[in-house]
Structures are given as structure tokens and as C-alpha cells.
Structure 1
Amino acid sequence: MSSSPIQSTELSEPIAPVSSYSPEDQPAYASGRLISMVMNTGSGHHAYGHEQLARQLTAYFSEQGFEVDLYLLTEARQLSEVVRQARAKHEREGGVIVAAGGDGTLNTVAQELKHSSIRMGIIPLGTFNYVARALDIPLDPFAAAQVIVEGIARPVHLGIVNDYIYLNNASIGLYPKIIEQRELYNARFGRFRVVAMVSGFVVLMREQQKLKLKMTIDGEQTPIETPLVFFGNNQLQLQDLKLTLAECVAQGKLAAVAITALTRWQMIKLIHRLQVGLFEQAPEVTSFCADQIKIESRVKRMKVAIDGEIVQISTPLIFKVAHNALQVMVPQGVTK
């Protein structure tokens, strides 16, 4: 998905699935064997290939005895509305709503399914696929589909900022600028990990404006000037970044990092510290492990990067964790 805001868009008419398959001999609805799969085919550079894949997966689920509704979307703005429509059907008939896409797509689906008993399935088609990897969901689409058929539902925690959720991370300051630069590079060079890394490095090497904030951490106020505040909710991603805050997430708490303003040379040293696992020991870095963090600013709205998408959110920003707020299909035996 692109860096367009994650938002709910009311459409004039319901969106019907482009195809619906039902096994002849099984009462799928009565047994809760309903699958609704949503995919945004208008994003990325392999849209046609993804459409073919969606139909192959639909056929696979049907062969396994599931009633399948397939939604192929060409615009990201349609996604929230489609999931709301599917949710109403699943509240009556049970089953699984499957998000086929990157972590931005997963976020939008999870936003609509939070605090419900409806199970969410994942077909990872993104660049990094941190959500799937953290839950031991295979990156091969058909192996991931098998997990949806044979796996179990596991409750997972969600990061919350005001009315939005984040599965991986949320941040203000530098990171939204990194996302914007990444999308420019993606449009030119394609969605590859090396492109994301290079675009991020370009932003980090520029002069950055400090944010003057007031943070309230579990009731204790502190002023801070920083170009970046980063909140993580994905233990694997924090481990990949060599951050000990991964243990904070494992405990179901709010993990955050803020840095002071840096020169280019200090930034280079900080990147090196990140690579060798010494990032949190740098004097320019402050880590937080809390139940709730409130961020106040003089500006009325702030750009927040949420799972790779950018939204404008009214201040103050309230960050917390919603425990066991989403039911996700994972392989049997996964308990972490």
C-alpha cells in the first residue's frame, strides 16, 4: 500500500466480492467455515500476479471445504469499508477474514477487527512482513494459507495511539519523513529492501528539525526536544534492531525510544551502534518501558508513521497497549 492515510471511507453502495465459491456438499456457513479474503491489487509492481495468486488461493480454500468471498480492490481507501461489510457477515456466520498484503494492509484489517471474536488470517505479500514473521506464519502464500486452514487462533496485543492501532511500530519526527522518502524511491526503483534502506539513510543524513514535546510517562511529566520518538510493538522487529526493549514488548508493555538532536557524524555513529547492538547505551538515546505515554505539542495535528503508513493525528497523542485485542490464525504449537 502507498503512504496514503489509513482512513475509513463511506462508499455509496456495498462492494460485492468479485467471486464467491461454496462447496456443494458442505453447509459452510452453518459450520463457521466462511473465509473472506481481501487484497489491494492497485498497489505494488506485481498487481496482475497478485490477482492470479488471489484466485489460486480462493480455489485452494474452496477445495478445503470453505465458503470463500474474494475481494480484489484497486484503491486502498476501499479496504476499511470492505472489511466492515465482511465483519458484519462473519459476526453472524463465523469464519476467518484474510488480509493478503503487506503490513499496511494488515493494519487496516486489524483496525476493523480489534476487540472482536472474528479470526484474522494473514497472507504476507509485503517487503518486510514483520507481523507474519513474528507469529511464525510462513512467507510462502500457500504455506500461509495452510496455516489459516489448519492452525489455531491466538490473541495478540495491539499498540494504540488515540483511535489508531499499530501492529509493528508508530513514530513521529524522522520516521514519517523516512516513509515519505521511501515511497518516492519505491515509485522509481521498486519495492525492495535495499531501496527502503537507502532511502532511510538519505533522510537520516539530512539536517532534522527538533520537536519540542511534553511527555507524560505513567503520570510523570518531562519536557523533551527530539527529532524522533519511536514506539515498537513487534518483538521480532525490535530484536532485529538489536534493542533490549524487545523484552518490554514481550511483557505486554509500551516500548519507546527517543533520541536527542544529532549532527551527521553523531548520526553515523548512532547507526553503527544500532548495527552492533549498542544503540540503547548511546548518550543520545533514551528508552522507555511504560503502560501509557502521553505526548503533548504546540501543534494541533502531527504526522505519525503507523506500520509504514502516514496519518495526521490530533494532539495530544496517547500511546498504550490493548492486550489480547486481536485473534490471529497461527501455526499449531506457536505460543510466543
Structure 2
Amino acid sequence: MVMNTGSGHHAYGHEQLARQLTDYFSEQGFEVDLYLLTEANQLSEVVRQARAKHEREGGVIVAAGGDGTLNTVAQELKHSHIRMGIIPLGTFNYVARALGIPLEPFAAAEVIVKGTAQPVHLGTVNDYIYLNNASIGLYPKIIEQRELYNARFGRFRVVAMVSGFVVLMREQQKLKLKMTIDGEQTPIETPLVFFGNNQLQLQDLKLKLAQCVEQGKLAAVAITALSRWQMIKLIHRLQVGLFEQAPEVTSFCAEQIKIESRVKHMKVAIDGEIVRIPTPLIFKVAHNALQVMVPHASTSV
């Protein structure tokens, strides 16, 4: 089991929880290796080591943390037979919620012990995967602002919402891009392109594109440059379920989308973390690429 002790707003209690979960899994007959990590950059190497062991011996690699932690573990386990267990400890926990995994840690642990393995789709952009979403433009700036606010006020939903609103109210730079959607090329100027891979998150945002994800396709939206007043109206449309009908919004449902830019690298927000990726950006869906322990009769991401 790998645990990010910095995840969520109850991070101070994670080490004690880790010991209790280890005791629970041991009581259920599992041999448990526990890795407590404070730095995200440690996680990939630890998971690679765990994967090498599990490829020889079998078992489940349990990721205990927020959706960013789950992404890092899934990145290392994709296209393998190794099962992934989830203990949700983040702020939003969209992956667990979409799969019907309980948010209470010991109930989630019981799913790992008694549940079933389910293949799930992964969104991909170049060599990276995303479980919930990936985006360029405004959203990476929102993430950067959120981390500044988190450092001052803690990891709470209201902090995330306020920091996002602050960014949205600023004047935004347009990205001049060339998008190729299933082979059809179109130029676009936009401050934001957003790709979603989590049905529940898209439903929470009242986006009909959730149906696109259900079909195993890429779901994306782009917006035109907006004034502050237009942005406020667009936020209202999002709240009442009319976002996709706004004239400033273009929706895409596709098998593959390529984004080209004059810059050599672009900041991409992936499941709440920011990475710099060489252009062009190629977005696809990797079908049934990850085996996740879920309750019986769960839905798919």
C-alpha cells in the first residue's frame, strides 16, 4: 500500500490511518508492504518497485490518497494485469465516487478485500494518462493559484472554488492552436481546452458530454475569449446546465484530437497536477487499460 500523507485536508491523521489499514489487511490474510510518502516525486519509483514484485507474486497495489496520487499509481499500472485498490483521501475523490467506492477508508478497504476487478478506460495525452480530466490554458493557472491558496488556508473545497474564481475573473491570454479532430483540421483561438474522462465529474458539471465518455470516446470543450461579464454569465450557465448551449462554447466527441502550437512545450493540468508536455499534444482513450477493485455491479469511469 502506498499512501500520500499530504493528500486532502485531514492529512495530519494519515500515518495513524495507514497503520490501522495495514492491521486490517493483515487480519484479512494479506501480506502488506506499506510505503508512506510525503513527496509526490517519490511515488512513481515506489510504484515501479511494487509493480516488479507483484508481477512475480500477484496481488493488489493499493493507492491511498487524492486523485493526483491515484493518477501516478495508474500511470505505472496501465496495461498490466496488476489490480489497483483505492483508499480515497483527497478533497474531491471523483475517481472513487465514479466507481462506487465508499469514501470512508475502512469501507473502501473492504471493497479491496471483497470486491471485484473491473477494467476502466484511461484518457491519454502523449505519454501521460488522466483519470478525471486534462486541460490547457486557464485550468493550469487555476491549479497554480489553488496551490498558493492551499498553502495559506489548507486543502478545502471552498478554497479550491475561490481560487478558481479569482483566476477566471482575470483577463486571459488566448492560445492560438491548430486542432485536428478525427482527421479534420481546424484553427482555434481559445483560453481553455478541457478534456473529461470521468462521467460523474462531467455530470456534476451538468455536461451532456458525459454520454461521450460512456461510449469510450474523447470528451472535450473549448471556449472563446471572454470578458469578465461574459465569464460570469458562462459560470451561471454551467450552474444551471446550459453551458454547452452557450455560443462561446464548442464541444467535441471524438476518437482522437491532436493539438498543435507554435510553442515547443505546453503546461497541461492532469488530474489536478501540472506537467509540461512537448507539442503536439495527442489525446486518445486507452480502453480497459487499468484493473481497479470495485464493489460488485459498479459503473465505469
TM-score by length of 1: 0.88
| Distance across 1 between alignment mates of 2:69 and 2:250 | 31
Report the counterpart of residue 106 of structure 2 in structure 1.
142
Question: Quick one: percent identity of the two aligned structures?
Answer: 93
Alpha-carbon shift at residue 104 of structure 1 (Å):
0.2
> SS in structure 1 opposite 2:86?
strand
Larger displacement relative to structure 2 (71-80 or 319-328): 71-80
> SS in structure 2 opposite 1:67?
coil
Higher relative contact order (CA 8 A, sep 6+): 2
Alpha-carbon shift at residue 334 of structure 1 (Å):
1.6
- Cα shift readout 1:92-123 (whole Å, capped 9, x = no counterpart): 11110000000000000000000000000000
Q: Is this contact kept in 1: 2:60–2:85, CA < 8 A?
A: yes
Report the counterpart of residue 151 of structure 1 in structure 2.
115
Report the counterpart of residue 254 of structure 1 in structure 2.
218
| Distance across 2 between alignment mates of 1:153 and 1:38 | 19
| Distance across 2 between alignment mates of 1:302 and 1:226 | 14
Report the counterpart of residue 214 of structure 1 in structure 2.
178
Q: Is this contact kept in 1: 2:136–2:193, CA < 8 A?
A: yes
Q: What's the C-alpha RMSD, in Å, of the aligned pairs?
A: 0.9
- Cα shift readout 1:65-104 (whole Å, capped 9, x = no counterpart): 1111100112111100000000000001111000000000
**Structure 1 unaligned spans of 5+:** 1-36
Q: Is this contact kept in 2: 1:43–1:74, CA < 8 A?
A: no
Alpha-carbon shift at residue 48 of structure 1 (Å):
3.7
- Cα shift readout 1:248-270 (whole Å, capped 9, x = no counterpart): 00000000000000000000000
**Structure 2 unaligned spans of 5+:** none
> SS in structure 1 opposite 2:291?
strand
| Distance across 2 between alignment mates of 1:44 and 1:150 | 26
Q: Is this contact kept in 2: 1:238–1:246, CA < 8 A?
A: yes
Report the counterpart of residue 175 of structure 1 in structure 2.
139
- Of the three residues 214, 235, 242, the one matched with 2:206 is 242
Report the counterpart of residue 44 of structure 2 in structure 1.
80
| Distance across 1 between alignment mates of 2:23 and 2:298 | 27
Q: Is this contact kept in 2: 1:166–1:307, CA < 8 A?
A: yes
Residues 156 and 44 (structure 1 numbering): CA distance in 2 closer, same or farther, change over 3 Å? closer
| 1:112 aligns to 2:76 (yes or no) | yes
| Distance across 2 between alignment mates of 1:166 and 1:331 | 22
Q: Is this contact kept in 1: 2:195–2:218, CA < 8 A?
A: yes
| Distance across 1 between alignment mates of 2:2 and 2:149 | 26
- Cα shift readout 1:226-275 (whole Å, capped 9, x = no counterpart): 00000000000000000000000000000000000000000000000000
- Cα shift readout 1:153-198 (whole Å, capped 9, x = no counterpart): 0000000000000000000000000000000111111111111001
Alpha-carbon shift at residue 46 of structure 1 (Å):
4.0
The structure whose Rg is larger is 1
Q: Is this contact kept in 2: 1:181–1:203, CA < 8 A?
A: yes
TM-score by length of 2: 0.98
Aligned residues: 300
Alpha-carbon shift at residue 44 of structure 1 (Å):
5.4
- Of the three residues 229, 233, 243, the one matched with 1:279 is 243
- Cα shift readout 1:284-306 (whole Å, capped 9, x = no counterpart): 00000000000000000000000
Report the counterpart of residue 10 of structure 1 in structure 2.
none
